Amino acid sequence: MPLRSILRFPDPRLSLPAAAVETFGAELAVLAADLLDTMRAAPGIGITAPHIGVAQRLTVIGIDATTAPKIYVNPRIVAASSETSSHAEGSVSMPGVTEDVVRPSTVRVVYRTITGDRAEEDADGLLAVCLQHEIDQLDGIFWLQRLSRLKRDRAVKRYAKLNRGI
């Protein structure tokens, strides 16, 4: 599958909510495969259709080489723990910059599979972090918005410094 171009911060399309997927079929499967290839090449462990300029609620997460990547269509969080944890996060749209983000430790997500079947999943650890991060992106919430103003400003300055002369 072809690699897709990834939108780079501060592209305004990264702040727009994505539309629900309504049609399941070959076109969606191709988009998911392109997302997977693009994510691996980035490299990253999660990517959404909005990262490549497609405003649809589709995300692919591949945490490690030992676990098959998962495709989530129209995912949404229906429950989250009151217990929180902090984890370093970044974005394929802002490579080279990470900051610790505090999020609920566990979540329950409902979604559709690539064929349109309803599914539900409980997640903890890195998968919970990734699901929350990517669902935020689908909602038009770029990960920087989860940081304090000081951390956000510092991250933006680091990214600008990394990209001077490009």
Q: Which domain holds residue 56?
A: 12-162
User: Does any domain span residue 38?
Assistant: yes
3-state secondary structure of 143: helix
User: Does any domain span residue 115?
Assistant: yes
Two tokens, residue 89: 């996060």
Note the pTM of the prediction, 2 decimals. 0.96
* CB-based contact 77:131 (threshold 8 Å): yes
User: Does any domain span residue 5?
Assistant: no
User: Does any domain span residue 47?
Assistant: yes
Domain count, the chain: 1
Two tokens, residue 99: 């900051």
Give the rounded percent of residues in the chain with a pLDDT score beyond 70. Answer: 98
135's CB contacts (< 8 A; 6+ apart) are 59, 75, 76, 77, 109
Look at the block and give the residue holding tokens 């919970």: 128
Instruction: Give residue 12's pLDDT band: very low, low, confident or very high (50, 70, 90).
Output: very high
User: Does any domain span residue 20?
Assistant: yes
Q: Name the residues annotated as catalytic.
A: 134
Give the domain CATH number at 132: 3.90.45.10
User: Does any domain span residue 1?
Assistant: no
Of 51, 49, 55, the C-alpha closest to 8 is: 51
- pLDDT 10s digits, 86-131: 999 999 999 999 999 999 999 999 999 999 999 999 999 999 999 9
User: Does any domain span residue 149?
Assistant: yes
User: Does any domain span residue 147?
Assistant: yes
| pLDDT of 18 higher than 80 | yes
